[in-house]
Chains A and B, each alone.
Chain A
């Protein structure tokens, strides 16, 4: 079945450090890929997405590139802030037929300190 694997956390970084959160996937079709962010006590917010190979999604300084050859969608940010502290979820969604559900990774908690 379809699945998403992302690096385990927590990830602890100092402010202005470089962030990478790894995400790889397996899928039977050609999925769209997403990163969602969850702040404490809140629901999920879409951070960025990519719908086909080599697409780069970007938002708020975060970016991720859809790499079909390595089945990866790693999240990066050049300089993190304390306000980026949250849990980040990688997810895939197949776009064919009625299979419109999202399949999530287990989440990576990011803690940014001063």
Chain B
């Protein structure tokens, strides 16, 4: 019974490139949440998705960031034209529903050089 799987664990991108972060939720979980952790800070909510739907994207930057959770396959957090300020750890969590507890993945650490 695998937990929440995120890949890659570490990702290095040059400024201006695209970053794609993947999250496979736990089996039976249809709700996915993405959080960002900047160095020495707490986690900040970015987006909450169910299969094929974005429920709450109030924490997503208005430009360059997008997220999807297709009917088949993992959830993807996409960052276009990355800048140094995007360097952070990105965590995904999943749950069975909005009122159930979360399980977090181990995160993807993005470094923009």
Chain B residues with CB under 8 A of A107: 41-42
**A25 close to chain B: CB less than 8 A:** no
Q: Do A43 and B104 touch (CB < 8 A)? A: yes
Q: Determine the interface band of chain B, counting residues with CB < 8 A from chain A.
A: 20 to 34
Interface size on A, residues (CB 8 A): 20
- Chain B's nearest CB lies how many Å from the CB of A27? 14
Q: Do B98 and A44 touch (CB < 8 A)? A: no
**A17 close to chain B: CB less than 8 A:** no
**A45 close to chain B: CB less than 8 A:** yes
Q: Do A43 and B41 touch (CB < 8 A)? A: no
**B65 close to chain A: CB less than 8 A:** no
Most buried by A among B44, B45, B104, B107: B104
Interface residues of B (CB under 8 A from A): 4, 31, 33, 35, 41-45, 48, 55-56, 59, 91, 95, 98-99, 101-102, 104-107
A–B complex contacts, Cβ < 8 Å, 20 sampled: A4-B42, A43-B91, A43-B104, A44-B43, A44-B104, A46-B101, A49-B101, A98-B56, A99-B56, A100-B31, A100-B48, A100-B98, A101-B33, A101-B48, A101-B56, A102-B33, A102-B35, A104-B42, A104-B44, A106-B42
Given A36-B104, A101-B45, 20 further pairs, Cβ under 8 A: A42-B106, A43-B106, A43-B107, A46-B102, A49-B101, A89-B42, A100-B31, A100-B95, A100-B98, A101-B33, A101-B48, A101-B59, A102-B33, A102-B35, A102-B45, A104-B44, A105-B42, A106-B42, A107-B41, A107-B42
